[in-house]
Structure 1
């Protein structure tokens, strides 16, 4: 055979070898350094595509900050710590702060507030061994609320209206033994407001049934009693009206709503209004939907949280991301999240999204419908903060329009937001594969060069005349595509 034929065969072999490194429409792994030999792009890519100005596409959406974690430190200085951060959070796109329970609990200076004792002691009465709460003084709380309002940020009160703790012993004829059901100026209620006795707790002369006996079963408030309703939400100096009109809180996070009937939340909101979200710890979207319909309140979207935990962690199957979530039926009532003070403590295994998957989970809730919550410990983590700021910026600008899942399998998930009017929307591509992936999908953009606004890939494809475009997800990561200038 002649020499030039050998050379021809050698070149052909090299060409075939190079072609085998690139992706096809099956989403096979690709060599991220090699764009040569893959499915040809309809139009040449520009050398330096220019990002659109996201601030020009402000969609009015914002996110909430859960401004605490379990057993926050330093004690007695938390309100001042938050006050120093509010301006930065507001600039980043935060419009609400969910604060921990702000009043004195039985554990005094160590209490996270969920062992509520005095509903009106914000760190201004000496009891349970301390003047200030774990978080600081009343004056420091009032300064935090004022600072938040000055930065156009609402403040959400964590409300515990089921279980009480820290009262004095008294004989309880309905149980025929002594119970810690005496709350007065000398027994855990130094404010003297909403003093309580055994008649205010289950069982009593009005009620025998206790709907929520999981916590402090002897001191669960009976909301059927008119007196309890008056003090919690009806009277002018009720807990609800005092928090709103005197302290300046703008809304409510209702703790452990399984401990009382839904009508309680509805009546509270009918009386005082304000933003609301309930902690109904149930992974079934249908249960959350029923509660929203019955009360009018928002709800933490535990269904979506578990979809993310199962898809990214437990089963490593992104098909779980398409399971029902509250955001699909009640996006305006779904408060989505990836972590909270409960999921991030006590070595939770099935209630926890591991660190390596956190940003993928955030990319999901910050591009899908719903009202996302950022967890303080994640945002203040130097490894996450800039990435979260970027995701919040994308959420507050491009995350609009109808939602369509373009492709999903065990290790890939591609979702499109259609945009509205002049807002172009976005495409989210999550991969838990250990290799870079590419996939051709249908966009709403014809003959437009795209870029990843998360900054996780520099691959800039161009859509064809029908909107088809091949996008890329980095190994075990995500990308969020939209148009360029």
Structure 2
């Protein structure tokens, strides 16, 4: 009987030590009864700057209805140096040209593509964000700090034109854009022939967004003014204003070939807003447009994993970053998800840092939302995550373990970069788990700063790591 009991106890002990548990971690190399043996001194962190991997992150440099009105460009000019120091390599600006709403416009009701705050129309000279001179100063300041500047481009629809009789609709429509009607610059004047329906085509291949001011990209005149002519929108923005790349608004409203034609003409970084959580839809669009896309599939899987269902297995579902990591622009929040107290399409504040930890450690190109970065409760944590992303978030992605409240992922690094292990927990208590790392006989530390535990891997790379309650940790080697 004693022999049987001893075997049962041994099996029970092995089962317990091989599983995750709440509470303090157990060092598998320790033989003192489960109390970890800390190193005699606190390990020394590696210098993350020494592992710079050439990556950066993009800052979405606005939110819906930014304040102060008429002072936004100047405010951003004061911030770009700090953003560059933090590891940001691109800033995405709001739509820079004059909209129908004048001084209140966020730019998504475009009227005059060439009015950057210098013509008196729609009740204002400056745009909501400031004057043309202030915009040019911002772009110059960004370039001085090696930041690319991304222009938000709205090609689907126009607003603010004058009334004219439209024979294709047999009524008057607001489709007349000239010096007296919403286009004071006199460049790219338009009339009903430039909008659907007309003598060229009836509609886009995609959905109509503004039924009466839906731009027809099949019209040669429209193509000339948008991207072909030497003073087209694309070439003027790049060669005169100094923009380096493009964020295309509402690409569901027109065919992917439009984005491809634009990029073939002027080049530069580009990303499309294809507002769809279906990864297959995003994959098809990047294949046809040749452009990167915001990974709405990843966004919704994070929202489901952390908030809606509180089940981290949703992080195993399809995302653009899993099939086209080089074309996936990941994000946690943007101007649409955060406006008007929109609760159905946002990641809750309590789970934002876990979500940033996810996008900053996985493949894809991360975007940081202005309001999140400038939040003093988040800022230092996001800055550290950017530093981690730009250094040791390297190599193939391998999910080591996932269940409803644990997610552990390894970036394998390379011959000169150690990589990392991310551990996210949705549990109300601290979690621990033994995993197989790429590191043998080395002491690890959590570079997120959320844990002060210093485990040591064994000769096979086995190591027990921990994650704080409803939090995350990011592990890598020490000196």
TM-score class, shorter: over 0.9
> Residue 332 of structure 1: SS of its match in structure 2?
helix
C-alpha distance in structure 2 between counterparts of 1:373 and 1:217, whole Å: 32
2:223 maps to: 229
Q: Give 2:367's aligned residue.
A: 373
Q: What TM-score, normalized by structure 1, do the two folds share?
A: 0.93
CA spacing shift, 1:39–1:350, aligned 2, 3 Å: farther
Aligned residue runs from structure 1 range 35-434, under 5 A: 45-211=39-205, 214-434=208-428
**2-structure distance, mates of 1:350, 1:176:** 40
State the SS of the aligned residue for 2:112.
coil
Q: Is the 8 A contact 1:289 1:330 kept in 2?
A: yes
Structure 2: how far apart are the matches of 1:136 and 1:190?
Answer: 17
Distance, in Å, in 2 between the alignment partners of 1:418 and 1:40 is: 30
Q: Secondary structure at the match of 1:393?
A: helix
Aligned positions, number = 466
Task: Check conservation: 1:309, 1:350, Cα contact below 8 A.
Answer: no
What is the rounded CA distance, in whole Å, between the counterparts of 1:441 and 1:360 in structure 2?
Answer: 20
* Correspondence for 1:4: none
Q: Is the 8 A contact 2:271 2:329 kept in 1?
A: yes
Name 1:24's counterpart in structure 2: 17
CA distance in structure 2 between the aligned counterparts of 1:111 and 1:271, rounded to whole angstroms? 29
Would the aligned equivalents of 2:207 and 2:252 in 1 still touch at CA under 8 Å?
no
Supply the distance in 1 between the matched residues of 2:377 and 2:165 (Cα, whole angstroms). Answer: 55
Q: Deviations over 1:20-73 (max 9, x none)?
A: 9xx7332121147999977577x8634311100000000011000000000000
Is 2:207–2:254's contact at 8 Å kept on the other side of the alignment?
A: no
CA deviation map 1:434-484 (0-9, x unaligned): 000000000000000000000000011000000000000001100000000
Deviation at 1:211, TM superposition (A): 4.2
- Aligned residue for 1:443? 437
Q: C-alpha separation between the residues in 2 aligned to 1:25 and 1:183?
A: 70
Q: Is the 8 Å Cα contact of residues 24 and 38 (structure 1) preserved in structure 2? A: no
Q: CA RMSD in A?
A: 2.0
- Once residues 215 and 71 of structure 1 are traced to their aligned partners in structure 2, the CA distance between those partners, rounded to angstroms, is 22
**Range with greater deviation from structure 2 (203-212 or 74-83):** 203-212
Contact 1:201 1:220 in 2 (8 A): yes
SS at match of 1:117: strand
| Partner SS state of residue 301, structure 2 | helix
Structure 2: how far apart are the matches of 1:430 and 1:128? 50
Q: Secondary structure at the match of 2:129?
A: coil
Unaligned runs of 5+ in 1: 1-15
SS in 1 for 2:366: strand
Cα shift at 1:223: 0.3
Distance (whole Å) between structure 1 residues aligned to residue 34 and residue 158 of structure 2: 65
The CA distance in 1 between the partners of 2:241 and 2:231, in whole Å, is 11
For 1:468 and 1:40, the matched residues in 2 are separated by 18
How far the C-alpha of 1:240 sits from its partner, in A, is 0.2
The normalised TM-score by structure 2 is 0.94
